[in-house]
A and B are shown apart, each in its own frame.
Chain A
Amino acid sequence: MASASVATTYTVQEKKRPPFLVDLFLRLVREKPLGTVGGVVVIILFLTGVFADVLAPYGYNEIVLADRLSPPSARHILGADNLGRDLLSRIIYGARISMYVGLAGSAIDVAIATFIGLISGFFGGKTDITIQRFVDAWLCFPSLFIYLTVMAILGPGLIQVIMVLGVSSGIRSSRTVRSAVIGIKENVYLEAAKAIGAQNRRILTRHILPNVMAPIIIIFTIAMGGMILQESTLSFLGFGIPPPIPSWGGMLSGSGRTYMLQAPWMALWPGLALAIVVYGINMLGDAMRDLLDPRLRGGLGRYSGVKRKMPKQLSQA
């Protein structure tokens, strides 16, 4: 019974786990076909947005009066609008706007949610109560009301839209981060960190943040769909991104609506693009939630796989 031999008899597998995001990606592809489709939609959106200049056959504001209200044809695959602008090109440039709004808006959302959620959840007590009352008040207002008021003050524009949407839904989603932090706070390893003498900053960044990454990623993905949809709503109502910049929501409203009967394709394509993208992002978000939600996940060490099973006879009862 030499004690030196202890380590050699352990049966733990040598397999190295790939880094978190790589692992997540692999599991997405392997386990979630619908989520993968959503992911592909998102990638297509981004590629379209990034390479809009290359992909679009015409400029987004290139007016050819002769082609006014032209139905889909060889010259204009998706047709042209009331000013004779190529709809395909406008959809493609619209993807760029959606991408900006989706990415930047969600980034602001997540940054604010994480900041508020971490502070509120970690320090608790009076700090938490004060912050939460503010968040409560914010949640009392219908979001559209907030958007419209702020946009009316700031005036339309891409940056304004992103800021308003990001900040507003960031405050909203701080709730999720806060409850995740409070859940994490129960864990003894935070107490362990405190016991070794770690500073609050270290505890927040090294111990809490990595463990709330899952809800943050979920918030980011799901918020992206919401942002794009809300930007469209704002633009549809005329408070969003001013013409002639092509936003899918803006294309739906105004001329799209006016010429609904003469040229239905004017409203059809932006509506369809919006529906597909938002649906795809939501699928991706759902898949992320399934993959990341700790309640649905195993992997808590050696015993995780070994569920206590009753003998067959008993379990049939």
Chain B
Amino acid sequence: MAGNNHLIDVENLVMYFPVTAGVLRRKVADVKAVDDVSFFIKKGETLGLVGESGCGKTTTGRCILQLYKATAGKVLFEGKDLCTLHGENLRRARRNMQLIFQDPYASLNPRMTAGDIVGEPMVVHGLVKSGEYKEQVAQLLRMVELEPRMAVRYPHEFSGGQRQRLGIARALSVRPSFIVCDEPVSALDVSIQAQVISLLMRLREELHLTYLFIAHDLSVVRHISDRVVVMYLGKLMEIADSDELYANPVHPYTQALLSAVPIPDPEVDRQRKRILLTGDVPSPVNPPSGCHFHPRCQRTGDECREQEPELKLVGNEHWVACHRV
């Protein structure tokens, strides 16, 4: 793996959550949240991860950060396997990879001041002494366009957008090289979303960050990502350069997903082809055989029911898992 410019390599990642029943908590089935997923993230790029609710986006992000212990597979960070790390080694490795949460209300401890929230990671990793981080905190707050004097406030005294900025400052405080952004703007008001997106993009340039950007809003992902991964029911469907994927989606699922997003311009939107998916996403406990998407696919055939498609290269860095391409 050495020699390439990959920061993260995810290899055959599998994450099953056991479904238990009865008093004895016997395992009766598995939620196949992530099922054999492989991709990489290059240094300095933003990789978008999209898919419908429950398709395993968050789980993938958490497995990469080792917040969940993956059932199988590897996560390499600069070539080193994170899944084999434990205890103190793992704790130290967390310095390099941070997480920004979806819910700006629940992700900040209500009993800590903004300054302590932002300063805590530095204390945890021994970068500063407890209580001696005023200067650094002030600088971090300025970096996310908050005022240093706000450090004495408690989270409930901030608005949603400001809280999200605090979450970003907390993640940045230990100078990580990699950040997983899990739906960082979907809980925010539309006019605030643009502020936070612009901030994330600016910080990426200034601090040379690498993002895994998880969202269900395809427009947002398109705006911020260099490459995009499309997931469906724990499986990878398509990976491509962002412009390429949006201009030239190959997988029927990607096509349907894209066409479901209306463009906020009636003139443009009217020109677009619309594909309406029928039915709902099946349960990840009992996913369909073969290609997970086949029951809702318009181009389904026998091999789709029987055999799981492999990722195929169809263009420059453009992979698709579909029998019909």
Direct touching of A and B (C-beta under 8 Å): yes
Chain A interface residues toward B at CB < 8 A:
3, 6-7, 10, 12-13, 16-17, 20, 187-189, 191-199, 202, 206-207, 210-211, 213, 299-304
Across the two chains, which residue of chain B brings its CB closest to A13? B157
Question: Do the beta carbons of A300 and B67 come within 8 Å of each other?
Answer: no
A189, A197, A303: the one contacting B106 at CB < 8 Å is A189
Known pairs A3-B198, A189-B108, A192-B109; list 10 more (Cβ under 8 Å): A7-B146, A188-B103, A191-B107, A192-B167, A195-B65, A195-B98, A199-B91, A199-B124, A210-B109, A210-B112
Q: Does B174 sit within 8 A of A, measured CB to CB? A: yes
- Residues of A contacting B152 with CB < 8 Å? 16
Q: Does B223 sit within 8 A of A, measured CB to CB? A: no
Give the size category of B's interface with A: 35 or more
13 inter-chain pairs at a CB distance below 8 angstroms, sorted by A residue, are A7-B147, A12-B159, A13-B157, A194-B67, A195-B94, A195-B99, A196-B94, A196-B121, A197-B95, A299-B156, A301-B158, A301-B160, A302-B158
Question: Do the beta carbons of A192 and B107 come within 8 Å of each other?
Answer: yes
Question: Do the beta carbons of B112 and A301 come within 8 Å of each other?
Answer: no
Known: A188-B103, A192-B99, A197-B124. A12 touches B91 (CB 8 A): no
- Residues of A contacting B105 with CB < 8 Å? 300-301
Known: A192-B170, A299-B156, A301-B156. A210 touches B99 (CB 8 A): no
Q: What distance in Å separates the Cβ of B194 from its nearest Cβ neighbour in chain A? A: 11
- Residues of B contacting A304 with CB < 8 Å? 156
Q: Does B111 sit within 8 A of A, measured CB to CB? A: yes
The 3 A-B pairs of least Cβ separation, nearest first, read A197-B94, A196-B121, A210-B111
Across the two chains, which residue of chain B brings its CB closest to A211? B111
- Report the number of A-B residue pairs with Cβ-Cβ less than 8 Å: 93
Q: What distance in Å separates the Cβ of A78 from its nearest Cβ neighbour in chain B? A: 47
- For window 76-129 of chain B, which residues contact chain A by CB distance below 8 Å? 91-92, 94-95, 98-99, 101, 103, 105-112, 120-121, 124-125
Question: Do the beta carbons of A302 and B99 come within 8 Å of each other?
Answer: no
Q: What distance in Å separates the Cβ of B108 from its nearest Cβ neighbour in chain A? A: 6
Across the two chains, which residue of chain B brings its CB closest to A304? B156
Question: Do the beta carbons of A198 and B146 come within 8 Å of each other?
Answer: no
- For window 147-161 of chain B, which residues contact chain A by CB distance below 8 Å? 147, 152-160
Across the two chains, which residue of chain B brings its CB closest to A186? B106
Q: Once the chains are docked, how many angstroms separate the CA of A298 from the CA of B72?
A: 44
B145, B146, B162, B167: the one contacting A3 at CB < 8 Å is B145
Q: Once the chains are docked, how many angstroms separate the CA of A20 from the CA of B99?
A: 30
Q: Once the chains are docked, how many angstroms separate the CA of A20 from the CA of B154?
A: 12
- Residues of B contacting A17 with CB < 8 Å? 154, 157
- Residues of A contacting B67 with CB < 8 Å? 191, 194-195
Q: Does B195 sit within 8 A of A, measured CB to CB? A: yes
Binary interface encoding of chain B residues 29-66 relative to chain A, with 1 for a CB under 8 A from any of its CBs, else 0: 00000000000000000000000000000000000010
Q: Once the chains are docked, how many angstroms separate the CA of A187 from the CA of B101?
A: 12
Q: Once the chains are docked, how many angstroms separate the CA of A12 from the CA of B153?
A: 10
Across the two chains, which residue of chain B brings its CB closest to A197? B94
Q: What distance in Å separates the Cβ of A12 from its nearest Cβ neighbour in chain B? A: 6
Across the two chains, which residue of chain A brings its CB closest to B148? A7
Q: Once the chains are docked, how many angstroms separate the CA of A222 from the CA of B272?
A: 66
Q: Once the chains are docked, how many angstroms separate the CA of A194 from the CA of B91?
A: 9
- Residues of B contacting A189 with CB < 8 Å? 106-110
